Structure 1
Amino acid sequence: MGAVLLSGRPPTPAAPPPPRLIANYRGRTPTDAPVLRDRADVAAYAAYRMPATFEAVRAALAAFAARVPDWSPATHVDIGGGTGAATWAAAATWEGPRSTVLDWAQPALDLGRELAATTLPDTAWQRAVIGEGLSVPAGTDLVTVSYVLGELRPEDRRAVVAAAATAAATVVLIEPGTPEGYLRIREARTQLTEAGLRIVAPCPHSDTCPIVPGEDWCHFAARVNRSSLHRQVKGGSLPYEDEKFSYVAATTLDATPAPARIIRKPQLRKGQVLLDLCTERDGLQRTTVTKRHGTHYRDARDAAWGDAWGDDRS
Structure 2
Amino acid sequence: MTAPATPAEHLRAALAALLDGLPPKAATQAVDRLITNYRGRTPTDVPVLRDRSDVVAYAAYRMPATFEAVCAALDALVAAAPDWTPSGHVDVGGGTGAATWAVSATWRGTRPVTVLDWAEPALALGREIAAANPALESAEWRRSRIGAALTLESTDLVTVSYVLGELTGADRASVVDAAAGAARAVVVVEPGTPEGYARVIEARDRLIAAGFRIAAPCPHSAACPIVPGTDWCHFSARVSRSSLHRQVKGGSLAYEDEKFSYVAATRFPVTPAASRVVRRPQIRKGQVLLDLCEPDEALRRETVTKRHGPLYRAARDADWGDAWPPAEDA
Q: Give the TM-score normalised by structure 2.
A: 0.90
**From 46, 71, 77, the counterpart of 1:64:** 77
Aligned 1:1-314 pairs, distance under 5 A: 1-6=14-19, 9=22, 12-17=25-30, 21-96=34-109, 97-119=111-133, 120-138=136-154, 140-281=155-296, 283-310=298-325, 311-313=327-329
Moved segments of 4+, more than 4 Å: 7-11
The SS at the match of 2:189 is strand
Q: Between the two proteins, what is the percent identity of the paired residues?
A: 67
Letter in 2 for 1:162: D
Structure 1 alignment gaps of length 5 or more: none
Structure 2 alignment gaps of length 5 or more: 1-13
Superposed displacement of residue 122, structure 1:
1.7
Letter in 1 for 2:211: G
Superposed displacement of residue 32, structure 1:
3.5
Superposed displacement of residue 237, structure 1:
1.6
Superposed displacement of residue 10, structure 1:
5.5
Q: Give the TM-score normalised by structure 1.
A: 0.94
Q: Retained in 2: the 8 A contact 1:161–1:191?
A: yes
Q: Quote the Cα distance in structure 1 between the aligned partners of 2:276 and 2:39.
A: 26
RMSD: 1.8
Between Structure 1 and Structure 2, how many residues are aligned?
A: 313
The SS at the match of 2:28 is coil
Deviations 1:78-108 (A, max 9, x none): 0000000000000110012332111101110
The SS at the match of 1:17 is helix
The SS at the match of 1:12 is helix
